[in-house]
């Protein structure tokens, strides 16, 4: 398996899953009983996973690949919010995208710091 595929396949699968889940037209009325702000926490966590996978890409392919992965995560969030704005049961929200970016960025930076010095050697 090539290093490029190893680096970006998990991130690509994550992005596809996010876009599929974000496009589902579910009955969201049952979620009204959850505490205020739960959705922002969910965005932070979901996109934190993307940030972690971007950091993994950077570990495998180098810092530029990690930043490219982070850009893919942020672009996925923007595309998801734009798409949700076109659905009858969903709405686009700038603050959701902000939570996406904060989650991705924080986890990316922490993961890169923890992975420093552990670069995978080429074979």
Domain extent for 104:
3-18+37-115
90: DSSP letter: -
Task: Give φ, ψ of 90 to 5 degrees.
Answer: -125, 170
In a domain, 71, yes or no: yes
For 57-101, how does the pLDDT look when each residue is reduced to its tens digit (9 = 90+)? 999 999 999 999 999 999 999 999 999 888 877 778 899 999 999
In a domain, 120, yes or no: no
CA distance 115 to 123: 19
In a domain, 8, yes or no: yes
In a domain, 60, yes or no: yes
Nearest to 81 by CA among 13, 6, 3, 23: 23
In a domain, 23, yes or no: no
In a domain, 82, yes or no: yes
Q: Is a pLDDT exceeding 80 seen at residue 45?
A: yes
Instruction: Tell me the two tokens of residue 57.
Output: 């890409």
Nearest to 103 by CA among 65, 29, 50: 50
Task: Report pTM.
Answer: 0.85
In a domain, 47, yes or no: yes
Count how many domains the chain has.
1
In a domain, 109, yes or no: yes
Alpha helices in the chain (DSSP H): 3-22, 38-61, 63-84, 94-115
Q: Provide the 3-class DSSP secondary structure of residue 87.
A: coil
């Amino acid at each position: 398996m090539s290093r490029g595929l190893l680096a970006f396949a998990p991130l690509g699968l994550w992005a596809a899953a996010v876009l599929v889940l974000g496009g589902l037209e579910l009955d969201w009325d049952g979620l009204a009983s959850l505490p205020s702000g739960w959705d922002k926490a969910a965005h932070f966590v979901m996109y934190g996973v993307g940030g972690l996978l971007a950091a993994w890409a950077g570990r495998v392919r180098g810092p530029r690949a990690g930043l490219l992965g982070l850009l893919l995560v942020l672009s996925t969030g923007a595309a998801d919010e734009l798409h949700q704005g076109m659905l009858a049961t969903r709405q686009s929200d700038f603050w959701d995208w902000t939570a996406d970016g904060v989650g991705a960025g924080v986890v990316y930076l922490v993961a890169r710091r923890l992975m420093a010095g552990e670069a995978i050697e080429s074979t």
